[in-house]
Structures are given as C-alpha cells and as structure tokens.
Structure 1
Amino acid sequence: MSSELNAERDAILAALTPVVDGIAATFGPVCEVVLHDYRNPEKSVVAVAGSVTGRTAGGAMSEIGMRVLARGDEASDELNYVTRTRNGTLVKSSTMVLRDSTGAVFGALCVNVDVGAVTQVHGLLGALAGIGAQPAELPTTTFGNDIDSVVDALFDAHQSRQRGSWAELDRAERLELFGGLDARGVFAVRGAVEQVAARLGISRASAYTYLSQARAAHDTSTGGSA
C-alpha cells in the first residue's frame, strides 16, 4: 500500500475523531461511539467515547468488526441492529464502514446505544396495558479489548453447534467448523490459526490444512475465489 493512501486513511480517521466525542455528548451516557482502524485488528480502536460496551482506545475489534473484515471491500453498513453483550446489556448498534478514495474498506465508525432501560419502560407500559409480549431472542455479541477473547467466543459459538468433540467430527464437519470461523473473519487476526489449533488440540500444520481445504471447498461451491 502506498504511503499516500495510508496518509489519506490517517487523515480520515483524524477528521472523524472529534465526531466521536460529539455524537456521544449529544446522546448522553446511554451512547458509546467507537472509531476503528482495521489495519491493526488487534488494536483497532483509535478513539472511543462512552462506556456501553467498555471499549478503550487501543482495544481490539468486536465480532462485528471481524465480520466486516471478512467481507473486505464487499462490506456494507449495518444499521439499527440489536444484540446483547455477554453481560446481558441490550444494545442497539450501527456500524458504518470507512472507505478510502479507491473504495477499499479500512475502518468503521460504530454507534452503540444501551436500550435496556428503554426496553424495561416499554415492558412495564405493555404490562400495564395488558400486552406483555416477550421480546424475541437476540444474539449475543462479544465486545472486548482483547482480540483473543473475541476469537475464543466465536470458536465456542461454532463448536457448540457441532455434534461432539473434534475427534468425533467427520471431515465435512471439521471443514464446516473452519469454514464458519473463516467466514466470521477469525483467521484475519494474527495468531488465530494457532489459537484455534490449541483449542482443538491439533497441530498448527493440521489447522492450516483444514483452513486451506475449507477455503477450496468454498471456492468450488461459489464458482470463484473468496
């Protein structure tokens, strides 16, 4: 990548840094705004205001960021989606990707709003009105300043859907595990292959082999390269 393009990306991030504080100040303590630079996934948070998910500057990207990273330049904005943090906080979020002048995705501006209090009030009013409908089950998302914890959470989520331990899985199921993790952006993180191999109790070489085969199977099924 050219130094001019890197300078352009740095300038975009610098221009957005005061916007982070401005948005958070406008919406108050229920709002958190996070600015990400995906050139450094392990320390992607370059600016943060608010504390809905406990992010800090220098922290790692979340599962959402890893998903954006996996999609590369095909990534698009994800607006007004609702999820839960691992401690149960109900969060409404928007993730807006950042592109340079070539159209390449290199970061994101994320807004997280704690809607738990609003939901509680809504539930109370619904109960008083006799319409106490239960909210739909929401996915749990890992927000962490440590990229290893995010990789572990994604690994655990995928493994929980498997029918048994690694030794009990057939080849197709093993490829599905690696393909699923790859689609979520796990292996875009430095050292993730080794981390997953350690969790599975297999060698680094075996992990790379399964990853390569999973990618080849995906390319064959889609008729092109990912």
Structure 2
Amino acid sequence: MKNDLAVLKQIAHGLAQQFGETCEVVIHDVRTPEMEGTVVCIENGKVSNRKLGDGPSHVVLEALKNGGKDVADRYGYLTRTKDGRVFRSSTMYMRDENGDIMYVFGINSDITNLMHLQQIVNQVADNAGVPNLTHDTKASAGAERITTSVADLLDDLIEQAVQQVGKPAQLMNKAERIEALKFLNDSGAFLISKAADKIGEYFGISRFTLYSDLNMIKDKEKEQ
C-alpha cells in the first residue's frame, strides 16, 4: 500500500504529458488532518491556480461524508473556477482493501476557449438562419466550483446555501435558516474544522442555537 501514491503520481504525470498544458491532474489525500493541505500531487496546476499543499475541493468533502460509502466515480462533468473558467472534469476515488477512500484523483480539462468558440459559431449560425447545434453553453452556470482552501470551500458552501433559500441570512426566518443549515449539513460543511463558529457568526446565532437547529434537522430525518 505504501507505493500507491507513487503509482498514482506516475499516472498523473503521464496523463498531463499526454493531454497537454490545459489538462490538470490533481491528487488529494483525504486522510490529511483537518483537511489542511490535501493536495499531495498536481500536474499543470496553473490551470486552476492550485499548488502542492493547497486545500480541498467539494469532491474531498464528498469522499469524507458517511465514510465515502455514498460516492462513486464521476466522469465528464462541468466544474468552474472563481474567475469563471469552465472545466470538463472527472473524479475517481481510490480505496484501500477495506473500501475506505485514501485518495481522490481528479482530471480537469479547461474548455473555456472551446465554449467561447461554440458561442461564436452559434452567433454566426443565428445570423445565417441556421439552427444552433447546441444551446448548453449556460450549463456552466450551475457547475461545481473548484476551491483552493478550507476557508474558500466553506465560503462557497455558505453561498450555495443562501442561494438555495433565496434571501440573505439576516432576512431569513427560522424555517429558512434551518433549510440553509440542512443544506450545509448535507453538504458536509460541518466536517470542516471550526466550521460551526463561522456558520454561526454568518447567520447571527449562538453556538447553542446552531446545535439546537442541527439536532432538530437530525430528528426530522429520523422521523422520515
């Protein structure tokens, strides 16, 4: 088992060489304490502006939720960066002999320029009266965002929770706040070290109220 990471690094290097500088290959070690510095290998890191020692992305949280038993490899889905670039991504979960996830192996191909080219082709086709071949360029709006640190990941999850409710935290009633907290709990946000402090501060509630809300969420789930 001790040579597994070395083999994965060799494969990562080979893939990066094969597909060129627009293809990033990254390996996260999900056993890293408190999820700090999960990136243990990265090829063509300039694609997402990440480097060795950077923090986790959403796929790492997925690997940790429920011991990783609920996750399966994913291929060819869309992700995006904070600055709006779009990737076609694949994620594979590397497990030990007990089925526990050790590493997350990710491939991200930057397709931003291809999408821009597609938009130009569609515009030309529209002007010429030719039906567009595809209208999925807006699909990137809902793409999962690639994050570079624990703090960045938690901020992203909080933003998603607020978007789901549809109003700022300070305007939420209790039911809406609980809906947002449920989203965060389901997303694995509370697996992040000291997440409770930041989430409580963001929603303007005490630690006691926060855990009371979380207990209410868990009780409702047991009833269902």
Shorter chain as denominator, the TM-score bin is: 0.7 to 0.9
Stretch of structure 1 that moved more, 137-146 or 180-189: 137-146
Equivalent of 2:207, from 200, 204, 208?
204
Structure 1: where are the runs of 5+ without partners? Answer: 1-7, 222-226
CA distance, structure 1, for counterparts of residue 222 and residue 102 of structure 2: 24
1:99: which partner in 2?
Answer: 95
Contact 1:54 1:144 in 2 (8 A): no
1:136: which partner in 2?
Answer: 138
Superposed CA RMSD: 2.1
Stretch of structure 1 that moved more, 148-157 or 165-174: 165-174
Give the Å deviation of 1:163. 4.8
Give the Å deviation of 1:25. 1.2
Cα deviation 1:61-114 (Å, max 9, x = unaligned): 112322333252221011100132221111100011111101112321000000
Cα deviation 1:153-181 (Å, max 9, x = unaligned): 11012113325454543443222211111
Contact 2:72 2:93 in 1 (8 A): yes
CA distance, structure 1, for counterparts of residue 167 and residue 117 of structure 2: 42
Equivalent of 1:124, from 120, 123, 142?
120
2:47: which partner in 1?
Answer: 52
CA distance, structure 2, for counterparts of residue 14 and residue 190 of structure 1: 29
1:43: which partner in 2?
Answer: 37
**Does residue 217 of structure 1 match 2:223?**
no
CA distance, structure 2, for counterparts of residue 191 and residue 147 of structure 1: 10
CA distance, structure 2, for counterparts of residue 11 and residue 180 of structure 1: 38
Contact 1:78 1:95 in 2 (8 A): yes
2:172: which partner in 1?
Answer: 169
CA distance, structure 2, for counterparts of residue 119 and residue 30 of structure 1: 14
Name the amino acid aligned to 1:42.
E
**Does residue 66 of structure 1 match 2:66?**
no
1:15: which partner in 2?
Answer: 7
Equivalent of 1:194, from 194, 197, 206?
197
Name the amino acid aligned to 1:14.
A
Stretch of structure 1 that moved more, 185-194 or 167-176: 167-176
2:84: which partner in 1?
Answer: 88
Structure 2: where are the runs of 5+ without partners? Answer: none
CA distance, structure 1, for counterparts of residue 166 and residue 109 of structure 2: 36
1:178: which partner in 2?
Answer: 181
Contact 2:169 2:202 in 1 (8 A): no
TM-score by length of 1: 0.84
1:3: which partner in 2?
Answer: none
CA distance, structure 2, for counterparts of residue 216 and residue 25 of structure 1: 51
Cα deviation 1:170-212 (Å, max 9, x = unaligned): 4432222111111111111111111111212222232222223
Give the Å deviation of 1:143. 2.2
CA distance, structure 2, for counterparts of residue 74 and residue 64 of structure 1: 12
CA distance, structure 2, for counterparts of residue 193 and residue 83 of structure 1: 27
SS in 2 for 1:43: coil
1:108–1:122 distance in 2 versus 1, CA, 3 Å: same
Contact 1:47 1:57 in 2 (8 A): yes
Contact 1:85 1:140 in 2 (8 A): no
Give the Å deviation of 1:136. 3.2
